[in-house]
Amino acid sequence: MVSRDTRVHLVAIALAIAIFAVVSRFDFATDGPEHLVAFLVSYGIIFGGAHLYLAARGDDGMIPTASRWRYVAVVAVFLLVGALLWVAGDAALGPVTVRQIGLAVLTLTALVYLAVESVSGYRATQLE
């Protein structure tokens, strides 16, 4: 039997494919903001949509709800920083570029997420 998580993920992927199909029907410039918005929305739905839906409902079937919220926050940070890098990656803020700051933020976000999830998983095993 297919789990609820799998069904929600499949619906999210189908929705993202539908967004790509609709956007491809229009004659937008390939480097225009429409493609960036479609990319952000689609990838946000693919990577975070199912977790956001299940966390908002409070379903913690295979993954605890708190972990789902943390994952959605990390996906949001990655998408927003990625959009910032796409728009203003070569701009300079003093001696550093926006790209350097963005990559530092992404690295720090990934490391903090890894540490927090590791501690959370360890604590969950100690409670049993």
For residues 59-87, average pLDDT: 87
What is the longest distance spanned by two Cα atoms in the chain?
Answer: 57
Choose between 112 and 48: higher pLDDT: 112
CA distances from 87 to 28, 46, 81 (A): 17, 22, 10
- Give the count of beta carbons closer than 10 Å to the beta carbon of residue 55: 21
Give the dihedral sign, CA 63/69/74/80: positive
CA-CA distance, 51 to 9, in Å (whole number)?
8
> What is the token pair recorded at 52?
């956001």
Q: Inform me whether the pLDDT recorded for 8 exceeds 70.
A: yes
| pTM summary value | 0.82
Instruction: Spell out the long-range contacts of 96-105 with Cβ–Cβ below 8 A and sequence spacing 24 or more.
Output: 105/77, 105/81
Q: 17 falls in which pLDDT band (50, 70, 90)?
A: confident
Q: Inform me whether the pLDDT recorded for 74 exceeds 70.
A: yes
